[in-house]
Amino acid sequence: MQANELQNMPTLGLLSSDMIAAQARAANEPEWMVTWRAEAWDFFAQAAPPKWRRTQLAELQQETIAPLFKAQGTAIQWDKALESKGVVFSSLAAALHTHEDLIRPHIGTAVNPLAHKFSAMRAALWQDGVLLYVPRNVEVELPLRLSYTLADGSRAMFPYTIVILEQHARLSLVEEYTSRGIPETALVAPTTELFIGPGAEVRYLTLQQQGQGVYQIGGQVMQLGRDALGKWTSIALGGQLQHMELEARMQGDGSRINWVGATFGNQQQNLVTVPWLRHIGTNTESHLEFKTVVTDKSYSVFDGMIKIEHESHSTVTRLEEHAIHLGSEARSDSIPGLMIDTNDVARAGHASTSGQVDEEQLFYMQARGIRPDEAKRLIVMGFFEPALAAVPLEALRESLEAAIEAKI
């Protein structure tokens, strides 16, 4: 990244929908996308900043955010032989030309671009992005890997991911967010929309390992069709601030989500996760187990919601969140909610714990000669085990374990 290239970019406050439309036309984007971006920008320009609870956004100034009108750090890893089975794994910009028919009916339908200022900004400004498409009955055995890396010196990035699984397709996807160098205040605002077709199954691991100054503010929605199965693992370790709105949307009858989360905050991090379990179809089932560890002066927030819509029947849902405080100055809040618009729920369960490392566990380990710091390390790693066990690549798991250990 050249420093002068960045200096020449207008910051957010100086952009207009005309400029954005002009950039999109210059990139030869189809006219509907040009309009889509411009409308999103107009919404952004007039919308008030969101009032997200327990989210420290004050230091994120739009004068410092200068978007680049080109992709800066999208990388994909896969076996090209899958192309012969009809699998598409390509940058979203390129796919706008090659697979416009797949993108147009999907983009913006799971994550509403006009929900608030940030969703609109993401829709208007995305450059990095990926389309991943798995045709009917195709099973992708090995995990595909997708990473978005904020370039050294860059101040903003708006990755947009669209994943489409047709009927009975199977996929394992690892999606990573990282940054190079030691970013000053920078914004990474990702959007991911996953459309999981009838009877299809997806393993989706999403991993946030941003550097210190990064504000990651994004939305991810997994929409599940009839009898579809989602296995979602969300791991968040990095950034100055995170505000991630996540939703498993059980649209089709018989769809299920099995979701585990792991968040670890240290130093001054403020990590907010807003996961929704939204039941629309009948006989849908959700299970979310969310683990948080905080240390130093970090502040972690679980702002979850179980929403059972009027048309859904026989829902089964279970939400568990547990937090461990390694230091007395660290904080975590858990504010789970339940909104039920139907009188036909099969089972809705909730469990929650929060506190220091369990003294009896610590003593049990010490009684075997294990020193308290090592015992805490083992207990924390064990606490995160449900999420770590879902990491499909051994090398990635090891690097994650090292990253977690470094924070303890």
Partner 1 sequence: MASELIIKELHVAVNGQEILKGVNLTVQPGTVHAIMGPNGSGKSTLAYTIAGHPNYEVTDGEIIYKGENILELEADERSKLGIFLAFQYPVAVPGVTVANFLRAAINAQRAQEGVDPKETAIPMVQFRRELRAAMESLSMDESFARRYLNDGFSGGEKKRLEILQMTMLKPSMAVMDETDSGLDIDALRVVSEGVNRLLNPELGVLVITHYQRLLDYIKPQFVSVMMEGRVVRSGGPELALELEERGYDWIKEELVGDAS
Q: Which residues bind partner 1 (CB under 8 A)?
A: 358-361, 363-372, 374-375, 378-379, 381-386
At closest approach, how far in Å is the CB of 298 from partner 1? 21
CA distance 201 to 252: 13
At closest approach, how far in Å is the CB of 355 from partner 1? 15
Nearer to partner 1 among residue 97 and residue 371 (C-beta): 371
Nearer to partner 1 among residue 80 and residue 369 (C-beta): 369
Nearer to partner 1 among residue 102 and residue 381 (C-beta): 381
At closest approach, how far in Å is the CB of 233 from partner 1? 15
CA distance 334 to 261: 13
Q: How far is CA 386 from the centre of its chain?
A: 18
At closest approach, how far in Å is the CB of 389 from partner 1? 9
At closest approach, how far in Å is the CB of 370 from partner 1? 5
At closest approach, how far in Å is the CB of 29 from partner 1? 47
Nearer to partner 1 among residue 141 and residue 373 (C-beta): 373
Nearest alpha carbon to residue 29 among 114, 151, 123: 123
DSSP labels, 351-404: EEEEEESPHHHHHHHHTTT--HHHHHHHHHHHHTHHHHTT---HHHHHHHHHHH
Nearer to partner 1 among residue 256 and residue 322 (C-beta): 322
Nearer to partner 1 among residue 47 and residue 362 (C-beta): 362
CA distance 345 to 387: 28
CA distance 92 to 9: 22
Burial of 24 (0-12, 13-18, 19+ CB in 10 A): buried
| Single-letter code of the amino acid located at 235 | I
CB-based contacts of 138, cutoff 8 Å, min separation 6: 85, 86, 87, 166, 169, 170
